Amino acid sequence: MNALTWRTIPLRNVILSILEKRQGVLIDKELTRLLKTNRVNVAPDELDRALMELEISGKIHVQQITKTKRKIELLGERRYLAIAED
């Protein structure tokens, strides 16, 4: 990305909102299409970076389906058990 793009809503939040509206599962091409319909122009490397940040933070999981397709899945809240609760 050559020029910085300022957004009123961070790209990560837009992605999470789209995933919540779509029952938590999307294909990357569909996500790109939905971002364009929401008037969010995003470069492929910028989208990859946002998805990577969301996956590292534990909010989504990205799975390679084929060489060119990825499944993006919203993860629910994790509840950790105490030692005596398992």
Query: What structural domains does the chain harbor?
Result: 11-77 (1.10.10.10)
Q: Which residues contact 30 (CB under 8 A, 6 or more apart)?
A: 22
pTM assigned to the model: 0.79
Cα-only R_g, the chain: 15
Phi, psi dihedrals of residue 62, rounded to the nearest 5° = -110, 125
Per the CB < 8 A criterion, the answer to whether 3 and 42 are in contact is no
In tens digits, the chain (86 residues) has pLDDT values of: 445 666 688 999 999 999 999 999 999 999 999 999 988 888 999 999 999 999 999 999 999 999 999 999 999 765 555 566 54
Cα–Cα nearest to 10, from 44, 49, 68 = 49
Take residue 1 and report the two structure tokens written for it. 């990305």
